[in-house]
Structure 1
Amino acid sequence: MELPKGFLFDFDGVIVDSFNSHYSAWSSAFRELFHTEIAPFPKHLSGKSPMIIAEYFCSVIGKEKQTADLYHLKDDHLDKYFTVPKLLPGIREITQFLSEEKIPYGIASNATKQFLKNSIHHLDLNFTTVFGLQDYIKPKPAPEAYISLAKALDFKEEEFKNLWVFEDSLTGTNAAKLAGMKPIGITTNYSVEELKAVGSILTYPSVLDAYQYLTNN
């Protein structure tokens, strides 16, 4: 098979399992700010920007006016009490393969730049082109994240249709589709049916399965 021209990766749920890293920071920030325990994390917020998540948690206790306070405090806690997320299968294999094939790749995430930088450093990952929340005016589900990354990798708009985007969330899948790229679903958070319903053209349990498909065809 002819390989895609480039590979764009979401971070949380695709490259790493970072749920505990994020939720523990939300929990400790919420406790510090409101002196009470946080609500469980709802699945529908997976992949959303941290400001939307902060707004949700504040709304549960009627404190919407303190959304920005929680957002900033969570960011502080994420950095201050940083816990290394768990690396998901296939990441080292696919980045080595793409480097050998000279196929451009990078990360576009709704996570903060500092969290991405810390995680990449501690896990010793081979990603040099990385976009995080602070790089966008409109985060996912807007297409800006993936368009910005593709342009940074020197792709022209007419080439976007030949780019694969690994995504585990409905939010990010919509962003990839709106950017005119090919969303590839990773089923860490949503089912095959749910991801295909919003535009995933292929789905895999992990990036390792996608890597094996690419190298065996």
Structure 2
Amino acid sequence: MTKPEACIFDLDGVIVETSDAHFNAWQRLAESLDISFGEEFNEQLKGVSRRKSIEKILALDDRELPEDEIQQLMDKKNGWYQDSIAELTPDDILDGVPEFLEQLQEMEIPLGIGSSSKNAPYIIDYLQLNSTFGVIIDGNKVENTKPDPEVFLKGARALNADPVKTIVFEDAASGVEAANRGGFVSIGVGSEEYLGAADLVIQNFKDLTPEKLFNQISDK
């Protein structure tokens, strides 16, 4: 692959690992409802909106709640989660990511964030990455969550990039599906088992350079 027109990154699990904070908050919420919640089920919530996550948890117990109670539960979970992420610093950025982002910037490739999280701007601020990303499209700016490609399509549009010539980095199967549906070049970050539908799967960003990545994409 030649130099892409832009790169769009999911946030949780790609730039920084906040899965423990999410898991602890969701588990605490489920336990308050007397619903059993484990790490395996938590995998199904990656890249999923807060509202749909609540619905999935309630479905574990075939339970339905009125809208006002669902909203209260979403607010409660988000409060616990925000307490955890407020402790984030640049030291929490995943290994290899700062160097990779810096090299992309040196190549003058526009960078964006495409995240389902409505807390993305806060996290980027805590990590001191505001000057790195030209656009942040998060859960506050889309109507349809992943696997709908809206978040990435809006990101590409804001970066004046053609989706076909834009790389999306994702750690969730729903995010990979969203990227594929939008016509992007999809890079799964993590396990081949969960992300096999991506155009290319990398384990992490350690010792990875943009040139190496572009060559790997071309060889596929």
Encode CA deviations 1:184-217: one digit per residue, 9 max, x unaligned. Answer: 1111xxx325423x2x111111133543624889
What amino acid maps onto 1:182 in structure 2?
V
Q: Aligned to 1:201, which of 199, 202, 212?
A: 199
Q: Aligned to 2:166, which of 163, 174, 177?
A: 163
- Name the counterpart of 1:14: 14
Encode CA deviations 1:5-47: one digit per residue, 9 max, x unaligned. Answer: 211111111111111121222234445x53x475114123322
Encode CA deviations 1:61-116: one digit per residue, 9 max, x unaligned. Answer: 4443143332222122222453428421222112211221111011101111xx22
Encode CA deviations 1:109-152: one digit per residue, 9 max, x unaligned. Answer: 1111xx22222222222334111111111011001000000111
Distance in 2, Cα, partners of 1:4 & 1:26: 37
Q: Unpaired segments of 5 or more residues in structure 1?
A: none
Q: Secondary structure at the match of 1:16?
A: coil
- Name the counterpart of 1:138: 144
- Name the counterpart of 1:116: 120
Alignment of 1:76-155 (within 5 A): 76-82=79-85, 83-84=87-88, 86-112=92-118, 115-125=119-129, 126-155=132-161
Q: Secondary structure at the match of 2:209?
A: helix
Asked if the contact 1:11–1:108 (Cα under 8 Å) also holds between the matched residues in 2, the reply is yes
Asked if the contact 2:8–2:168 (Cα under 8 Å) also holds between the matched residues in 1, the reply is yes
Instruction: State how many pairs are aligned.
Output: 205
What amino acid maps onto 2:79 in structure 1?
D
Asked if the contact 1:120–1:127 (Cα under 8 Å) also holds between the matched residues in 2, the reply is no
Query: Per the alignment, do residues 182 and 216 of structure 1 end up closer, same or farther by CA in structure 2, a change over 3 Å counting?
Result: closer
Report the TM-score, using the length of structure 1 for normalisation. 0.83
- Name the counterpart of 2:37: 39
What amino acid maps onto 1:166 in structure 2?
F
Q: Secondary structure at the match of 1:142?
A: coil
Report the TM-score, using the length of structure 2 for normalisation. 0.82
Q: Secondary structure at the match of 1:136?
A: coil
Task: Give aligned-pair identity as a percent.
Answer: 28
Q: Aligned to 1:175, which of 173, 178, 181?
A: 178
Q: Name segments (4+ residues, structure 1) moved above 3 Å.
A: 27-31, 80-83, 214-217
Query: Per the alignment, do residues 194 and 39 of structure 1 end up closer, same or farther by CA in structure 2, a change over 3 Å counting?
Result: closer
Q: Secondary structure at the match of 2:38?
A: coil
Asked if the contact 1:54–1:68 (Cα under 8 Å) also holds between the matched residues in 2, the reply is no
